[in-house]
Amino acid sequence: MNIILASTSVSRKKILEKFLIPFECVAPNCDETPLMNESAPELVLRLSQIKAQSVAQQYPHHLVIGSDQVGVLDGQIIGKPHTIEKAIEQLHNSSGKTVDFYTGLCVIHRHSQQITTICEPFKVKFRTLSCAEIESYVVKELPLQCAGSFKCDELGITLFDKLEGDDINTLVGLPLIKLNKIMINMGFNPLLLS
């Protein structure tokens, strides 16, 4: 079975490697601009599906996995900071607050005409962080391509008071427990693939 992760994210690649199955990464070709009045769950559902579909068109006999993630702080969608200054700003704004993260997942197998799309929530309660802690963290880890400006599977774990969700992998960017269930339902059990 040929499996493709429709992503160039190093974090998502590391997560999918936990299944110990062969797969390749292919960059999706899509516009990630949010639509007017689009909620965070609607955005990640739409983008994960667009990413998976853009790759599935090129690989109709492969199982294609697409994912997208955003956070919501004080009613505003936050994404990847891209710059050190923006990362510091995001963490200052998150300090002492709870941020809701939404991770979209879409799995497509065009050959059997199967498609499943879900949205997984995850809550992060940040500690009250000092300016020195925030700046030190951002310089050490450079979480510039991470929604919310942290890498929870690395040093970013030191920023939190509490995490609430079914699967820590969801917060990293790929809900592995749900992905496993979807793949099994589609006839591709990771434990039985080689």
Inter-residue contact 169 to 161 (CB < 8 Å): no
Tokens coding 147:
């929604």
Q: Determine which one of 31, 68, 74, 167 is catalytic.
A: 68
Over residues 1-29, the mean pLDDT reads: 94
d(CA 92, CA 168): 23
**pLDDT for residue 174:** 96
Q: 67-89 burial, b if ≥16 CB within 10 A, otherwise e? A: bbbbbbbeeebbbbbeeeebbbb
Q: What is the mean pLDDT of the chain?
A: 95
| Mean pLDDT computed over 129-147 | 96
- For residues 134-146, one letter each, b for 16 or more C-beta atoms within 10 angstroms of the residue's C-beta and e for the rest, the string is bbebbeebebebb
With bands split at pLDDT 50, 70 and 90, how would you rate the model's confidence at 50? very high
Identity of the residue numbered 164: E
Please give the span between the terminal C-alpha atoms of the chain, in angstroms, as a whole number: 8
Q: Which two tokens stand for residue 66?
A: 């697409």
- Spatial contact of 69 and 44, defined as CB atoms under 8 Å apart: yes
Known active-site residue 68: yes
- Rounded Cα distance between 112 and 63, Å, is 10
**What pLDDT, on the 0 to 100 scale, is given for residue 157?**
96
Q: Are 70 and 79 in contact (CB under 8 A)?
A: yes
Mean pLDDT of 115-130: 98
Query: What is the residue type of 160?
Result: F
Domains in the chain: ranges and CATH:
3-192 (3.90.950.10)
CA 13 to chain centroid = 11
193 pLDDT tier (thresholds 50, 70, 90): confident
Mean per-residue pLDDT for 123-141?
98
Continuous segment of H or E residues that includes residue 5: strand 3-5
* Overall average pLDDT of the 7-25 stretch: 95
Q: What is the average per-residue pLDDT within 108-124?
A: 95
Confidence of residue 102 (pLDDT cuts 50, 70, 90): very high
Give 163's contacts (C-beta < 8 A, 6+ positions apart): 122, 123, 124, 125, 152, 171
Give residues with Cβ within 8 angstroms of 40, minimum separation 6.
70, 71, 72, 77, 100, 102
Share of the chain above pLDDT 70, in %: 99
Examine the pLDDT at 1 and tell me if it is beyond 70: no
pLDDT value of residue 79: 86
